Structure 1
Amino acid sequence: MGQDALIADLVKRCIGLGFLQDIYTVKEARDRVQSLLVKLKQTGLLSDSYSNDHFSMQNIVRNAALSIASEDNHVFRLTKGKLDEWPNEEKLENYTDMFLQYCDFIEEFPRSIRCPRVRVFQIDNNDPHLKLPDSFFQEMKELRVLILTGIHLSPLPSSIGLPVELKNLSKLQIFDISNCSKLVHISSNLISSLTRLEELYMRNTSIQWKVNNEQENQNASLSELGNLNELTNLDLQIPNAAHLPKNLFFDRLQNYEIIVGSLDRYSKQEFKMPENHELVRFLAIQQKNV
């Protein structure tokens, strides 16, 4: 994670990697992480950042932590370097975490890499031409946290087959597809099948939601959210009020950021959008011809 990291990202990693014992809900995990951050700040290992939803770590502390992780926990990390050759097979089989951040990939990705112990795989990149082979993740049987930023994913590799297969993730607690601006289609009954879902983030997507009276449309309907009894946090942007379900679900939500219509016509001086994953209650409606 970066020097000024999102607390929400830390919560996701702690849940995905099973770091928190006897914790069963996202809210409990967030409370535990917050209390741990307070203790780490008191010891001087961490400090406050520029906003309440971030935390900061000094470079000397971060570098020491990365060094320990690389030596003791078989972590592979490369930042702003050139990757002209992947590690040998013996090293790949021992790695538990792999982080490749803003690297120059001299050659194409291999068809797949054998990393049976890898739990976290992250690529941050800004090359739109970088593509992952179809079976790249096939040998990552223990993968629990996958973060891909700035990667060309059209179509998605079959080795992480989405989106229909999401129906099988019956224990999924957090679903975040924010800023997938080209995402248009989500199959009907997919969202309603995620019965353990507690937090849903879908800001800045282009999903064509089904209007309630449309019979032939195979897209998901927002009425499916009513079946998610564990849902507490929602970040959502929809084209117009016609997509809203008849029976709203605000009574169960602890935090929400919902935008109906487009707010592009407003200037930043008039109106400030909450940050992603900021814990607030916020509803904005843009009416036509207003």
Structure 2
Amino acid sequence: MGGIGKTTLAKKVAIDTKQDNLFHVIVLVEVSKTPDIKNIQQEMGGQLGLKFHDETEGERARALYDQLKKEVAIPEGADNSGEEKKEKKILLILDNIWEKIDLEKVGIPFGDHCRGLKLLLTTRSIHVLTNQMNSHCNFSVGTLTEAETWSLFKSTAGMCIDHPDLKSIAPEVAKECGNMPLAIATIASALKDKGESTWITALKELKNPSVENFDGMVTKEVYTCIMLSYDYLDTELKKIFLLCSRMGCTYDASIRDLFMYGLGLGFFERSNTLEEAQCKVEDLVKKLKDNSLLIDAPNEARESLRHAIHDGERFAMHDVICDVARSIDRQKGNVCNVIDDAIPRSWAKTNILKNYTSITLHNTPEVSKGLRLEFPQLEFFYMKTKDSFSKIADDFFAEMPSLLVLHLIEMNLSPLPTSLGHLVNLQTLCLDACELGDIADIGKLEKLEILSFRGSKIKKLSEEIRQLTGIRLLDLTDCSTLEIIPPKVISCFTQLEALQSSGRLEDST
């Protein structure tokens, strides 16, 4: 990912290999997002002792090719000691490539043409290496360990962190850097020799990033790096990337949830079946991982997405990446994520809320029953409170007429808020690990296509849900208290493609 330290590592390789005499010549060239063949050739030529003036691209390429071949040529005969002269070795580092580089066009010999030349490439995309550059020996550069993070932070910030006023806050700031070298170096340098108040402000900004914070000295460099990766995505990947950041638990998120959110929001209209949509999600997540914008979650179940809806295949989004993604959303002015904090007081002013299309409330205090929220444009709503089985007001959903996706986790919904029946445009409804009683009002949501009661305490499926003839996926996994499914209710779901129950995903017939 951007800011992980690939360039620093490449430069370190150049220094160490030179000191160890592993290569006779070392050339390092910065390529960048929009590669300029002329600039690459001139940079290489300068480091090889060539001077270019008015030569054409082809002439520069031939000159570089001849020079590199000359450098690694095996001299004839033997030296005065009688030892056989060995082939010289060259290390050529092309740093920060974003797409295929035509080596021949640049003037770089490769393969059997120049066995003494070793090529080291750095990129944010594994696809560029394997599919475009045909590289077979690739290494993923991960984040630092906590010990490495603290060591780098201390060495960069200097002795000031030993001051009594900073001894407790400095480790917290270092932790908020997300183990990313660029973030650590940038933030530690910015706070070096600053007073306690500056450190406190920086910590607050890191925990609650905003667009304004990213314009400041503390995180601008990291933000710029990650924004560059985002800008390079196509429209479809951008939409999924931002949707990932709206999921409540991004350090261990579920592809199952992403799949259901995307369906509800109409992201996969070209997919005729759930199977096709599942494969699409799998492909998009893989592409984001290949671009270093998503990472594998710990102990991720590496099975096909066909089973992911059941077994909860996971992925993760790095903290700093997520902060940048959410800042992109905030720039649009219609998305809000409240994580581990209370609902802002400003929400009491309805004019602030009128343009919101997506809201995530994760580990927030219980919503005040007296708080009336009006979201006329809201399409996505996720909520999980700090206290398990919190209750919400009966009219909570009354002013959300445009809602398409609703996900509530560990809520007490017995009885269901009557306003839930007002969500006539709802496509995806996930009531996971909730306490449920009479669910008859769900039968009013005739546009519903995805319905999940995963892990919820529910005794009976109401007769009224037979009206949901558009249901395509019904998830009853781990509903251990479910005792009654009225006769012919399931058979009324004429569009049903997948029924998940008792730990198995079964195709409906």
Normalized against structure 1, the TM-score is what?
0.70
Give distance in 2, aligned partners of 1:150 and 1:189.
24
| Residue equivalent to 1:233 | 498
Answering whether residue 279 of structure 2 is matched by residue 31 of structure 1, we say yes
Distance 1:61 1:186, change over 3 A: same
Secondary structure of the corresponding residue to residue 90 of structure 1: helix
For the pair 1:190 / 2:465, whether they are aligned, the reply is yes
Residue 189 of structure 1: how far off its partner (Å): 6.4
Q: Secondary structure at the match of 2:499?
A: strand
2:370 alignment counterpart: 110
For 2:396 and 2:489, locate their aligned partners in 1 and report how far apart those are by CA, in whole Å. 33
2:395 maps to a residue whose letter is S
Name whichever of 28-37 and 81-90 sits farther off: 81-90
| Structure 2 match to 1:9 | 257
* Counterpart in the other structure of 2:439: 163
Tell me how far apart the structure 1 counterparts of residues 489 and 287 of structure 2 sit (CA, whole Å): 40
Higher relative contact order (CA 8 A, sep 6+): 1
Shift of 1:84: 6.4
Question: Structure 1 pair 226/108, CA: closer, same or farther in 2 (3 Å)?
Answer: closer
Question: Aligned residue for 2:355?
Answer: 94
CA shift, 1:139, in A, is 0.7
Q: 1:180 aligns with which of 426, 435, 456?
A: 456
Matches of 2:439 and 2:489, distance apart in 1: 16
Q: TM-score, normalised by structure 2?
A: 0.41
Once residues 258 and 377 of structure 2 are traced to their aligned partners in structure 1, the CA distance between those partners, rounded to angstroms, is 21
Report 1:1-290 matches (<5 A).
Answer: 1=247, 2-49=250-297, 50-52=300-302, 53-83=313-343, 85-87=345-347, 88-105=349-366, 108-110=368-370, 112-128=372-388, 130-161=390-421, 163-181=439-457, 183-188=458-463, 190-191=465-466, 193-205=467-479, 206-209=481-484, 220-221=486-487, 223-237=488-502, 257=504
Amino acid at match of 1:234: L
Range that drifts further, 149-158 or 163-172? 163-172
**Partner secondary structure for residue 354 of structure 2:** helix
Deviations, residues 148-172 of structure 1 (Å, cap 9, x unaligned):
1122222111000373343344443
Unpaired stretches in structure 1, ≥5 consecutive residues: 210-218, 238-255, 258-278, 282-290
Q: Distance in 2 between matches of 1:11 and 1:30?
A: 7
CA distance in 2, matches of 1:113, 1:24: 36
- Could you tell me whether the CA contact under 8 Å between 1:110 and 1:136 is conserved in 2? no
8 Å CA contact 1:112–1:133 kept in 2: the answer is no
Distance 1:149 1:41 in 2: 27
Whole-angstrom distance in 1 between the partners of 2:415 and 2:398: 16
Deviation string 1:45-73 (CA, Å, 9 cap, x unpaired) is 12233223222222221111011112214
In the alignment, the residues of structure 2 paired with residue 172 and residue 98 of structure 1 have an alpha-carbon distance, to the nearest angstrom, of 20
Cα 1:85–1:37 shift into 2, 3 Å: same
Aligned residues: 229
Given the superposition, is the C-alpha separation of residues 66 and 194 from structure 1 closer, same or farther in structure 2, using an over 3 Å criterion?
same
Which amino acid counterpart does residue 486 of structure 2 have in structure 1? A
Q: Deviations over 1:62-100 (max 9, x none)?
A: 111011112214212211123362522221112111111
Say which SS state the counterpart of residue 121 (structure 1) adopts: strand
State the Cα deviation string for residues 161-206 of structure 1 (Å, max 9, x = none).
373343344443322111112x112223634x43333322112322
Name the SS for the 1:37 alignment partner: helix
Per the TM alignment, residue 229 of structure 1 is displaced from its structure 2 partner at its CA by 4.7
Q: Which one-letter code corresponds to 1:163 in the other structure?
A: I
Aligned-pair CA distance for 1:35: 1.5
| Whole-Å separation in 2 of the counterparts to 1:229 and 1:137 | 28
Q: Quick one: percent identity of the two aligned structures?
A: 28
- Residue 379 of structure 2 aligns to which amino acid in structure 1? R
Give the direction of change, closer, same or farther, for the CA distance of 1:45–1:142 in structure 2 (3 Å limit).
Answer: same
Change (3 A) 1:170 1:94: closer
Aligned to 1:167, what secondary structure does the other structure show? helix
- CA separation of 1:190 and 1:141: change in aligned 2, threshold 3 A: closer
Deviations 1:94-113 (A, max 9, x none): 211111111235x7233531
Residue number in structure 2 paired with 1:214: none
In structure 2, the gaps of 5 or more residues are 1-246, 303-312, 422-437
CA gap 1:9/1:188 in 2 versus in 1, 3 angstroms: same
Contact 2:440-2:463 within 8 A present in 1 as well: no
Aligned residue number for residue 195 of structure 2: none
SS of alignment partner, residue 94 of structure 1: coil
Q: Where does residue 265 of structure 1 map in the other structure? A: none
Task: Evaluate the alpha carbon distance shift between residue 110 and residue 83 of structure 1 in structure 2; reply closer, same or farther with a 3 A threshold.
Answer: same
Aligned partners of 2:331 and 2:345: how far apart in 1?
20
Q: Which amino acid aligns with 1:5?
A: A
Using the alignment, how far apart are the partners of 2:321 and 2:346 within structure 1? Answer: 28
C-alpha displacement of 1:24? 3.8
